[in-house]
Copies of this chain bind each other. A is one copy, B any other.
């Protein structure tokens, strides 16, 4: 691939991006699409004028959204998206900063060294092969390799400094989030699982007995978790149908409804729902008791009087059998993943192992499409293909098609395959038994991250070069050398990958094609009224964080080997900055808040990328026979490892446990302000495993931390939905 190929590819991609972004700026101005592009605003500010936009303006692309996204301050982002959103944007900002430094160093110092590395006649610049710009072009035994070594030192140091300051500020933000938020029920609540079964007592009685014996001063009350039964499932189906039908515009109901609904009126289901509610609450106490008994799970939310008491109860080992009375801090009410709470705790470890194995198997099965894609970038494979399928021969001969096939198609195919990954990993994470949505997303995020870095980076690097797959596993000592041989040759592929997959994915992200089509379908085919809250999505951390981190990884590893990739990466990150800010401000709603808990993943991944870059550099200096440069890399590797260990010691505990000091101070403050009683009442009603009741409330809810009891998640989170529908409000027991 030469420079003109690259420019063709860049041209195609820029054109596509411009077209898509223009299309976006038009589509977002259509009032009908407001619930796709302004979901968050519609949910939080239900009555909102669409403004008087003239018909002409509505169909002219504009750049207003860019200005708005650019001008938003960090405080706005924090108010709108919480710490998670700010931490996410921090990944983008970190990448921009570090790659600006890297680009300056590499383009002005390393690139000329690479280009003039061999005594050769240079062709005209546009037909120059891209390989000329990589470190592969530097002569063996060259004296100029210290430039690369120095560049790597500078990049590593600046990356570490930036990582440190980011980790520090996000830790501070996380602590501020804990102290600054209004009294949060999750601070007072402990989730206990593995309640032992006893023939004399119900689970509920056991929980009450246990906590009033061992925590007599701080135990407030508890609330059992209920499993689902047939009646629940029927009610759930009924509710789903009700929701579906209710959302149909009443105007169309009589005219266009091709099927029959008993009652025919617009709101008979509301009545039905209320009746079901009244029936269940008027059932005789005895029957309710026995039915509750049958369905009680050995899990409960236990409420404590103070935050510190809850923290303590969550962190100590309760019983001498560690599989019983397992406590942990409860997730936020909106964050609870109810259906997993009924999983017996004894199964959890088994589920974790099973999903781990399943993910690994999935990761390796995915080699097949990747290998195919990789084959396309290599000419000899194309020749083989055209020999087997003769009619392709003519097409492939054409210069333009050829460029598209080698420069663009592989990335597109890979990207399409990659789209199937996050839902699969999300499914695995749900099966794993995670008790909260944020935990599930974090777990999926880690899986997707491993997956992408393995399948996009390593497999491409290793399968595309001298070494064939699977023989890779048999060699560890030579890994640096082999990577060093492979990475520069694969730099071309990564450049096109950034161009195609990177840029296109951002356009795709901002266009939201899937919700757009759904919206269109519902509006014009089904003619149902779309409730903004029912199609509100939470931020897809599990797809976007791995994507960004993959590009960070590619950026680091290619930086000194093939510096030409850096400008394209920078464009990607700038675009990402605008797109994600826009999406956070307008599209995604915040239903729960993990307080930036995913940051350690980001940090570790960046450190891993840095280390890999250094190991590859070690290999390259070995190949180029420059022992001095190799020698200088080893202390760099050690220093990076030490830096990582220091950060792990200094910051990461705060992301796993809440500091007692802060919680005690908050408790003391509550006491001084005399709002203890108020908080207690609030906690008792915070966790309800009951979507029917809560549904009516949730529609008009705006802030996730407000005290409504909504657990209705109309987004992709609902995949493994909410099981139990019956109102068990009366099952919350209090001992005083």
| A interface residues with partner B (beta carbon < 8 Å) | 171, 175, 214, 311-312, 315-323, 325, 349-350, 353, 470, 473-478, 641-642, 645-646, 649-654, 657-662, 664
Contacts and interface: CB of A to CB of B under 8 A. Distances in A.
13 contacts: A175-B320, A317-B654, A318-B659, A318-B660, A319-B659, A321-B650, A322-B654, A473-B476, A473-B477, A474-B474, A475-B475, A475-B476, A476-B476
A657 to B, nearest CB: 4
Contacts of A315: 312, 315-316
Contact of A312 (B312, B319, B321, B349): B312
A545 to B, nearest CB: 24
Question: Which of A317, A318, A350 has the most B CB atoms < 10 Å from its CB?
Answer: A317
B312 A659 contact: no
Contacts of A662: 320
Nearest to A658: B317
* CB-based closest 5 A-B pairs: A474-B477, A322-B653, A316-B660, A317-B657, A320-B659
Nearest to A316: B660
Contacts of A317: 653-654, 657-660
Nearest to A313: B660
Contacts of A171: 320
Contact of A322 (B214, B470, B645, B649): B649
A206 to B, nearest CB: 13
Nearest to A649: B349
A323 B649 contact: yes
A350 B646 CA distance: 8
Given A322-B649, A475-B474, A477-B474, A316 B353 contact: no
Question: Which of A316, A476, A641, A651 has the most B CB atoms < 10 Å from its CB?
Answer: A316
A319 B478 CA distance: 45
A650 B323 contact: yes
Contacts of A477: 470, 473-474
Nearest to A172: B320
Nearest to A320: B659
A664 B214 contact: yes
Contacts of A316: 311-312, 315, 657, 660
A660 B326 CA distance: 12
Given A315-B315, A349-B645, A349-B646, 19 more contacts: A214-B664, A311-B316, A312-B316, A316-B660, A317-B660, A320-B659, A320-B661, A322-B649, A322-B651, A322-B652, A322-B653, A322-B654, A323-B650, A353-B641, A353-B642, A470-B477, A474-B474, A475-B476, A476-B476
Nearest to A354: B642
A651 B664 CA distance: 32
A659 B312 CA distance: 13
A349 B657 CA distance: 19
Nearest to A309: B312
A297 B270 CA distance: 70
Contacts of A664: 214
Contacts of A214: 660-661, 664
A651 B322 CA distance: 7
Nearest to A664: B214
Contact of A474 (B318, B476, B651): B476
A661 B319 contact: yes
A587 to B, nearest CB: 33
A448 to B, nearest CB: 24
Contacts of A311: 316
A622 to B, nearest CB: 15
Contacts of A649: 322-323, 349
Contacts of A175: 320
A641 B354 CA distance: 12
A654 B353 contact: no
Nearest to A314: B316
A344 B477 CA distance: 38
Contacts of A641: 353
Nearest to A646: B349
A323 B646 CA distance: 10
Nearest to A663: B316
Contacts of A661: 214, 318-320, 325
Contacts of A318: 659-661
Contacts of A323: 649-650
Nearest to A638: B357
Contacts of A320: 171, 175, 654, 659, 661-662
A170 to B, nearest CB: 13
Contacts of A642: 350, 353
Contacts of A325: 661
Contacts of A478: 474
A7 to B, nearest CB: 42
A638 to B, nearest CB: 9
Contacts of A475: 474-476
A325 B473 CA distance: 45
A214 B646 CA distance: 28
A123 to B, nearest CB: 40
A135 to B, nearest CB: 24
Contacts of A645: 349, 353
Contacts of A322: 649-654
Contacts of A473: 476-477
A248 to B, nearest CB: 50
